[in-house]
Structure 1
């Protein structure tokens, strides 16, 4: 815990002045700590060197733990699991041809046996954009194409970076190393985050780019505050194209769309956040009285720059710039499709009867084919409704009633023998599900965050709620589509941020009555230990190692809906 107001919810809408001077990371200037524990902690961080070591050591420890849980034995299971059957094979073909290609029957067995060049030249209809598969292929450069470790390496890196970004965003929002470390720790040990990171599918990279885009939006807000509010008080509002973090956010959201189209909801949601906060800031500044400095028209300049018309135009320009930059970034992910001639629908417009007629006959054939391919992708994704044993209705996601078994191998020893698990029948299973304690506590905390936001209108809480909304609410429009619980990974970091905030409220401040303070510290400590214990308990089922018995599996089936065949 920190030496003073560890974890207390933010009381103002202004971001911390400096992370190195966060109130929860240095001893206060008003009197001794009221509890012995706080006094000891204050002494432990009593010098700048120790404080700096804590600020560096806490995230380093969290990231190291995340890396260990994701990289150790990453090559197991040593075969394609679940949707790796699509994305690893697509990545293999793309690394050789530049586009997704079809594979012959029995291709999974060939790839599992190390034969990774058996793809054909005919295009495979890809239902998602290419970037996620290009990211998977990066692992081939380091570990080779035939090694399952190489298939998953790049996605595991994305998973570790998600934990790091969650820590950094929490530090930015809350100004507390303690709360940031708690947020990073909870995501580091969560089963859904671990299993997604250890599987070569698209949702891990998607989560990273969406989260990085949100982080860039927050940095843009801080950049504006420092440049416009402190260095240039009363000056003209910076042009959107002169804001480096805004451009970075748009690029990252565009790249997220280049992994899965669901990234567009983060682009829309956080573009709204940027424009809304910008308009509020400019209208607020327009009402301020600025004293003349050197030039007697200084006050008039502020009023003209922030008039109603200019504010509206400024907001429109900001939104338009974000969409244009994101669109360019998205198009760049299709470079392989444009550069080759064999991709899915690449030559559609050249086929008899397909080319557009007047008034659009002038459109280049490659653009016509590109648009047609996107229409086909859209129709597939919207209309996908194939019954699946593990599909989960989005209405039940927050309850986490339907996890998914990605891999199961059962071995048995006849004649009364004993297998590796100590019984005659042993199972190795990779179960894609969250730590239930972390998940359910995060959902409960989300309610607290929502109520607190309604009462206080704190923009930090709005960021958390917007992250959840962008990742979750759009799926409620597709209740008839075949979807899975693990799609929720894209908004899980924001759930964890909300949980960290509520745990900070329970921790309280060093100025609280000693009994209240010690109760809060004890309650949070017990909760974190419980989360770690549950993660250790479920870990063998998340990574398919070691082999376990039927009885061990039964102990983990807390809900009847968790059972799988």
Structure 2
């Protein structure tokens, strides 16, 4: 059975637990003897690298087997289903037109090009069929599992808990279904979780460098503390955030949220290391590089994602200067291509602003964000009552986007527990996970008139899984607790994980569209809001 974060940290030689992570009743290390600033920088990452990658590989292979299962089905008599009907044809246009859409008469090209280009890559290789328009999405879903395993391992300092996080994401119905649909939304969590994992690597890397500075006695050479030079992991995170924005614009919320999180980490590091002026040191020595890596690099990456549009002659709104845009004015010094791109974005923003329930009508599977944490209003992507092969005369084939209830229905207590830990214990792990969760969830409350759907929670699902993993790690306990407590923790966590697995297996037919009887279909619909 997996061990908790505290237990994993206790096995690292010379590592002191981070302030606020010790179990209740245990005196903080500083009350006995101050171990020095280096020991207060936190528990080092796990050192079992080979085992870590073996566990990661095993979980990723399991994800691939399930995500790729019968990937080409179901279809709507050979055509895309649900919102695949928007993006699959646009991706096919990209295959035929050098990476751009070419349907200006409809003005329905309202998202950046990257995700559609990735779908187009699958179509280019496998053709215009279910496998062709879903293969890239499935690969994105598998890679997201990989990044969740690695992020979970760094958060918990436990390879076992990192592997558990990956298994939980595999068995999440929302992530499973959306990773098998030719839509844009599976690419968003891929780049967001990649950026999050890169920032965790940066956090560990810079703390190791600070420990060396302390060991060499240089931490007080300047009141602002040391300089770090290039922080390559932050540059990687910046590129990933730019790619997230190039899938959908709401990636910009993660740019802001992760940027703020990194500033807090920088201040905390300098303060714990004993730097005389940690806030000033962060402002002078960390802020400008952070803006470069986490603000400018994402912008440059995002603009670069329009490479095909810039090189085209017939891209949507490609040549609007002199037509819809005047050739003069205060911005005439900008290249015509950038001005046309700005116009394009304005038109897309207008479309999204007008996509409200009042103007476009109420979609039968629309939902509002207060129902999303528990997945109370799933979505029916496909339904056919003329299927065969279920062993009865009346067979149903259906695909429903639904979060596994044993995972999602526990989200409220898990998140409240995490918020308590973040506020009262200043637990950086919970702070990081809650920032990731909130960046994908809270912005939707700013415009409740807009049409909204449960699949908007796709980038949030990995952070729900990480939060659940942290909660399970806490339940497992640590080496300093009684055997009765440890056995109780193992029993509760084992039961919870088993319940999630059984729940996922039960939902499997309506996650992949396997034929089932009409009675079985009715038994899958647990709540009135699922109908």
User: Structure 2-normalised TM-score?
Assistant: 0.86
Name the structure 2 match of 1:405: 380
- Answer yes or no: is 1:249 the counterpart of 2:240: no
Cα distance in structure 1, aligned partners of 2:8 and 2:527: 34
Q: 2:189 aligned with 1:162, yes or no?
A: no
Mapped pair 1:59 → 2:56: yes
Partners of 2:477 and 2:486 within 8 A in 1 = yes
Q: In structure 2, do the counterparts of structure 1 residues 4 and 194 end up closer, same or farther at CA, with 3 Å as the change threshold?
A: closer
Contact 2:207-2:269 at 8 Å conserved across structures: no
- Alignment of 1:83 with 2:83, yes or no, is yes
Q: Please, which of 120, 124, 129 is the counterpart of residue 112 of structure 2?
A: 129
Match of 2:487 among 496, 506, 518: 518
Residues 1:7 and 1:134: Cα distance change in structure 2 (over 3 Å): farther
8 Å contact kept, 1:7–1:505: no
TM-aligned CA distance change 1:140 to 1:238, over 3 Å: farther
Equivalent of 1:395, from 370, 373, 378?
370
Of 357, 360, 365, the residue aligned with 2:328 is 357
Q: Specify whether residues 355 and 142 from structure 1 end up closer, same or farther in structure 2 by C-alpha distance, changes over 3 A only.
A: same
The one-character-per-residue Cα deviations of 1:410-460 (angstroms, maximum 9, x if unpaired) are 217xxxxxx522333211111111111111123321111111111110111
8 Å CA contact 2:81–2:382 kept in 1: the answer is: yes
Secondary structure, in 3 states, of the residue corresponding to 1:528? helix
Q: Secondary structure at the match of 1:146?
A: coil
What 5-or-longer segments of structure 2 have no aligned partner?
11-16, 20-40
How is 1:478-497 mapped onto 2 (pairs within 5 angstroms)?
478-497=447-466
Q: Distance in 2 between matches of 1:525 and 1:286?
A: 42
SS in 1 for 2:47: helix
CA distance in 2 between counterparts of 1:18 and 1:140 reads 41
- Counterpart position of 1:373: 344
Q: Which one of 531, 551, 555 corresponds to residue 523 of structure 2? A: 555
d(CA) in 2 for partners of 1:7 and 1:473? 33
1:552 Cα offset (Å): 0.7
The residue matched to 1:76 in structure 2 has which SS? Answer: coil
Structure having the higher Rg? 1
1:461 and 2:430 matched: yes
Secondary structure in structure 2 of the residue aligned to 1:325 = helix
Give the structure 2 partner of residue 325 of structure 1. 297
CA distance in 1, matches of 2:530, 2:329: 56
Work out the CA distance in 2 between the residues paired with 1:541 and 1:307: 54
Q: Which residue of 2 aligns with 1:139?
A: 122
> Where does residue 508 of structure 2 map in the other structure?
539
Q: Secondary structure at the match of 1:150?
A: helix
Whether 2:241 is the aligned partner of 1:261: answer no
Matched with 2:497 is 528
CA distance in 2, matches of 1:475, 1:254: 20
Specify the SS of the correspondent of 1:398.
Answer: coil
Inter-CA distance 80–451: structure 2 relative to 1 (3 Å threshold): same
The aligned residue for residue 415 of structure 1 is none
Matching of residue 12 in structure 1 with residue 9 in structure 2: no
Q: Figure out how many residues of one structure are paired with residues of the other and give that number.
A: 488
Give the SS at the match of 2:372. Answer: helix
Distance 1:18 1:408, change over 3 A: same
Residue ranges of structure 1 left out of the alignment (5+ in a row): 22-51, 103-120, 289-305, 413-418
Tell me the equivalent position of 2:314: 342
Q: Distance in 1 between matches of 2:262 and 2:327?
A: 38
CA displacement at 1:282 relative to structure 2:
3.5
Tell me the SS of whatever aligns to 1:261. Answer: coil
| Alpha-carbon separation, structure 2, partners of 1:489 and 1:510 | 36
Which residue is equivalent to 2:100?
99
Structure 1 residue 193 displacement after superposition = 0.7
- Trace 1:29-48 onto structure 2 (pairs within 5 A): none
Matched, 1:438 2:427: no
User: Quick one: distance in 1 between partners of 2:120 and 2:400?
Assistant: 24
- State whether structure 2 residue 192 is matched by structure 1 residue 224: no
Q: Which moved more, 1:399-408 or 1:439-448?
A: 439-448
Query: Using a 3 Å threshold, how does the CA distance of structure 1 residues 511 and 319 change in structure 2: closer, same or farther?
Result: closer
Counterpart-to-counterpart distance in 2, 1:311 and 1:7: 32
**Could you tell me whether the CA contact under 8 Å between 2:4 and 2:156 is conserved in 1?**
no
